[in-house]
Amino acid sequence: MATAAAASNAMGSVKPAAAQLPALILIRRVDTSFAAALRRRFRVLDFFASGEPLLPAFLLAAAKDGPRAAVVMGGGVARVDAAFLDAVPSIRCIVTTAAGVDSIDLHECARRGVAVANSGRVYSVDVADHAVGLLIDVLRRITASSLFVSRGLWPLQGDYPLGTKLGGKRIGIIGLGNIGSLIAKRLEAFGCVIYYNSRKPKDSVSYRFFASVHDLAAESDVLVVACALNKETRHIVNKDVLDALGKDGVLVNVGRGANVDEPELVRALKEGRIAGAGLDVFENEPEVPAELLSMDNVVLSHHVAVLTSESRSDLRDHTIANLEAFFSGNPLLTPVLP
């Protein structure tokens, strides 16, 4: 009985402490260490652990707890718009675990006084490395020749067709932000010539600027998409741009799937109007056009450029730091404005 009473007292002492923790909504899957770190600091209302299959119903139920912040994943499960904010009117901060904010209506958040933070530069180095890896793979046909060898075709068919070198290639980068700049520096080290397109020329670089993406593609051997997704950049790589890139050109996309007109890209690859592609993102993830799966001049990864074991732990720390800043009344580490 004494043990039961002690347990009852212990439970009673825990509940008020838990109730005093600030509440937040979690709308993304996280690993065990991320989840534990959040729960030590916050009262977490977890969509994926709730058993509720429909997000609107979950939000309406969660609203009763008056959560002040939400952690969302980029470009997937939830779109933070007027309907989202209407469902949970107590929300005053959105922290996305992505660098891009195309799934968040920034103007609506600003109108309602809802602060927004993103992942900042947590992923930048890893995405830049991945972009270069995709490009080398496409040019040197690493994945394709690996399959050729593993299928036992080498002794039967002889040598696999040769790839092409990276050094000396003219690289056109769409979006010279944090990630685009890191990609440029890496490719410079390979002896590549860097061109770029951005909203405006950057005084801090000596690379040649192109105001037109079509003209950038026409002068480039490789086109790398590293820009954010918005109204201006949706399908920024279209049929005309792909035709300008030409039959020897290669496209690499580590931005967003919808930066590229995907049906036009598939047609360009099938018809040999461009030479190959390295793609980490797709328009309708996780769906990937079936035609791409069998092309040996295309290298695919599952929107994983941002993720390494190091960046995952960095993301956890960065997300928690933004949340703690918000709940403490301090400036967000990586605020995003409309």
The closest of 207, 192, 178, 205 to 135, measured between CA atoms, is: 192
Predicted model pTM: 0.87
For range 233-250, the mean pLDDT? 98
* pLDDT tens, position by position, 250-307: 999 999 999 999 999 999 999 999 999 999 999 999 999 999 999 999 999 999 999 9
Out of 3.40.50.720, 2.60.40.180, 3.65.10.10, 3.40.50.1860, select the CATH number for domain 2-122+309-327: 3.40.50.720
Q: Could you check whether 2-122+309-327 and 124-300 share the same CATH topology? A: yes
CA distance 112 to 268: 44
13 band by pLDDT with thresholds 50, 70 and 90:
very low
Handedness of CA 229, 234, 239, 243 (dihedral sign): negative
pLDDT confidence band for 73 (50 / 70 / 90): confident
From residue 90, alpha-carbon distances to 45, 59, 60, 116, 266 in Å are: 14, 11, 11, 14, 44
The pLDDT tens digits of the residues spanning 244-265 come to 999 999 999 999 999 999 999 9
Asked if the peptide bond before residue 161 counts as cis, ω within 30 degrees of 0, the response is: no
Q: Which residues are catalytic?
A: 256, 285, 303
Is 124-300 CATH 3.90.230.10? Answer: no
pLDDT of residue 131 exceeding 70, the answer is: yes
Per-domain residue ranges for the chain? 2-122+309-327, 124-300
Residue 198 in this model has a pLDDT that exceeds 70? yes
Q: Is the pLDDT of residue 328 over 80?
A: yes
pLDDT above 70 (res 243)? yes
